[in-house]
Chain A
Amino acid sequence: MNREAPGCLWERIEPLLLLVERPSRYIGGEWNAPEVKTGGTSVALAYPDVYEIGISNTGLAILQEVVNEMDGAFAERVYSPWVDMESEMRSAGIPLFTLETHSPVKDFDIFGISMPHELTYTNILNLIDLAGLPLRSGDRSEGPLVVGGGCGCANPEPLAEFFDLFVLGDGEEALRALVEVVTRAKTERWERERMLQEASLLTGVYRPLAYDVDYDADGIIKAVTPAAGVPEKVRKNVVDIDRWLYPRRPVVSFCEAVHDRLNVELFRGCTRGCRFCQAGMISRPVRERSAGEVVKLVDELAGRTGHEDVSLCSLSSTDYTRIVEVARRVAEICAHRRMIMSLPSLRMDGMAADIAARLDRGGRGGLTFAPEAGTERLRRVINKPITDADMVDAVLRAVRSGRRRVKLYFMIGLPTETDEDVEEIGRLVFRLRDAVRSEGLAPPSFNVSVSTFVPKPHTPFQWFAQEPMESVRRKQGILKTELRARSVNLSWHDREMSEVEGLLARGDRRLAGVVERVWALGARFDSWSEHFDYSRWTEAWLAEGIDPEHYIRRGRDAAEVLPWDHLDFGLDKGFLLEERRRALEGECSPDCRDGVCVECGVCDALDTRPALKGPWGASE
Chain B
Amino acid sequence: MTAPEELRLRVQLTKKGPARYLSHSEFSRAIMFAARRAGLPLEYAGQFRARMKLSLSPPLPIGVTSECELVDFQLAGYLSPVDAQQALNEAFCGGIEVVFCRLMGSGERPVGKLIDTATYRATFPEEAGAREEWERAVAEFLAMEVVEFERVQPRRTRTLDLRPGVHSLELEDGAGDSPVRIHMALDDGTRGTIKPWEVIEVLARMAGVPRETWERALVNRLGLFARRGDRLVSPMELGSRKPAVSHRGGKRY
Q: Which of B17, B37, B44: most chain A CB closer than 10 A?
A: B37
B63 to chain A, nearest CB (A): 5
Kindly supply a per-residue 1/0 record for chain B positions 12-36, scoring 1 wherever the CB is within 8 Å of any chain A CB and 0 otherwise.
0000011001110111011011111
Q: How many angstroms from the CA of A306 to the CA of B44 in the assembled complex?
A: 15
Is there an interface contact between A27 and B36, defined as CB atoms closer than 8 Å? no
Interface size range of chain A in the complex: 20 to 34
B49 interface residue, CB < 8 Å from A? Answer: yes
B143 interface residue, CB < 8 Å from A? Answer: no
Is there an interface contact between A254 and B30, defined as CB atoms closer than 8 Å? yes
A-side contacts of B18, CB under 8 Å = 1, 27-29
A304 interface residue, CB < 8 Å from B? Answer: yes
B-side contacts of A18, CB under 8 Å = 21, 62-63, 215
Chain A residue, CB-CB nearest to B216: A15
Q: How many angstroms from the CA of A364 to the CA of B49 in the assembled complex?
A: 8
The tally of residues in B whose CB lies under 8 Å from a CB in A reads: 29
B97 to chain A, nearest CB (A): 13
Q: How many angstroms from the CA of A596 to the CA of B30 in the assembled complex?
A: 50
Is there an interface contact between A303 and B21, defined as CB atoms closer than 8 Å? no
Kindly supply a per-residue 1/0 record for chain A positions 303-336, scoring 1 wherever the CB is within 8 Å of any chain B CB and 0 otherwise.
1111110000000000000000000000000000
Q: How many angstroms from the CA of A537 to the CA of B123 in the assembled complex?
A: 50
B210 interface residue, CB < 8 Å from A? Answer: no
Q: Take A24-B22, A254-B22, A364-B48 as given contacts and tell me if A29 and B94 are in contact as well, using a CB distance cutoff of 8 Å.
A: yes
Is there an interface contact between A306 and B21, defined as CB atoms closer than 8 Å? no
Q: Which of B18, B27, B36: most chain A CB closer than 10 A?
A: B18
Q: Take A305-B33, A305-B37 as given contacts and tell me if A254 and B48 are in contact as well, using a CB distance cutoff of 8 Å.
A: no
Chain B residue, CB-CB nearest to A23: B21
B144 interface residue, CB < 8 Å from A? Answer: no
A398 interface residue, CB < 8 Å from B? Answer: no
B-side contacts of A340, CB under 8 Å = 48-49
Q: How many angstroms from the CA of A135 to the CA of B50 in the assembled complex?
A: 49
A-side contacts of B35, CB under 8 Å = 306
A-side contacts of B29, CB under 8 Å = 254-256
Q: Which of B34, B63, B94: most chain A CB closer than 10 A?
A: B94
B50 to chain A, nearest CB (A): 5
Q: Take A303-B37, A340-B49 as given contacts and tell me if A254 and B26 are in contact as well, using a CB distance cutoff of 8 Å.
A: yes
B91 interface residue, CB < 8 Å from A? Answer: yes
B93 interface residue, CB < 8 Å from A? Answer: yes
Q: How many angstroms from the CA of A9 to the CA of B44 in the assembled complex?
A: 42
Q: Take A28-B18, A30-B94, A254-B26 as given contacts and tell me if A306 and B33 are in contact as well, using a CB distance cutoff of 8 Å.
A: yes
Kindly supply a per-residue 1/0 record for chain B positions 197-219, scoring 1 wherever the CB is within 8 Å of any chain A CB and 0 otherwise.
00000000000000000010000
Q: Which of B23, B33, B48, B95 meets A22, CB within 8 Å?
A: B23
Q: How many angstroms from the CA of A256 to the CA of B17 in the assembled complex?
A: 20
Q: How many angstroms from the CA of A305 to the CA of B37 in the assembled complex?
A: 6
Is there an interface contact between A308 and B36, defined as CB atoms closer than 8 Å? yes
A272 interface residue, CB < 8 Å from B? Answer: no
Q: How many angstroms from the CA of A30 to the CA of B37 in the assembled complex?
A: 14
Chain A residue, CB-CB nearest to B63: A18
Is there an interface contact between A361 and B48, defined as CB atoms closer than 8 Å? yes
B42 to chain A, nearest CB (A): 8
B-side contacts of A215, CB under 8 Å = none
A-side contacts of B21, CB under 8 Å = 17-18, 23-24, 27
A338 interface residue, CB < 8 Å from B? Answer: yes
Is there an interface contact between A338 and B23, defined as CB atoms closer than 8 Å? no
A528 interface residue, CB < 8 Å from B? Answer: no
B76 to chain A, nearest CB (A): 10
Chain A residue, CB-CB nearest to B50: A338
Q: Which of A255, A306, A308, A361: most chain B CB closer than 10 A?
A: A306
Q: Which of A24, A256, A306 meets B36, CB within 8 Å?
A: A306
A184 to chain B, nearest CB (A): 36
Q: How many angstroms from the CA of A256 to the CA of B26 in the assembled complex?
A: 7
Is there an interface contact between B62 and A23, defined as CB atoms closer than 8 Å? yes
A616 interface residue, CB < 8 Å from B? Answer: no
A-side contacts of B25, CB under 8 Å = 255-256
Q: Take A17-B21, A27-B18, A306-B91 as given contacts and tell me if A338 and B62 are in contact as well, using a CB distance cutoff of 8 Å.
A: no
B-side contacts of A254, CB under 8 Å = 22, 26-27, 29-30, 94
A-side contacts of B95, CB under 8 Å = 29
A571 to chain B, nearest CB (A): 42
Q: A1-B94, A24-B22 are in contact. List 10 more A-B contacts (CB 8 A).
A: A23-B63, A24-B26, A27-B18, A31-B94, A305-B37, A306-B34, A306-B37, A337-B36, A340-B48, A340-B49
A: residues with CB less than 8 A from B are 1, 17-18, 22-24, 27-31, 33, 252, 254-256, 303-308, 337-338, 340, 361, 364
A-B contact list, 13 entries, CB within 8 Å: A17-B21, A24-B22, A24-B26, A27-B94, A31-B30, A31-B37, A31-B94, A306-B33, A306-B36, A306-B37, A307-B33, A338-B42, A340-B49
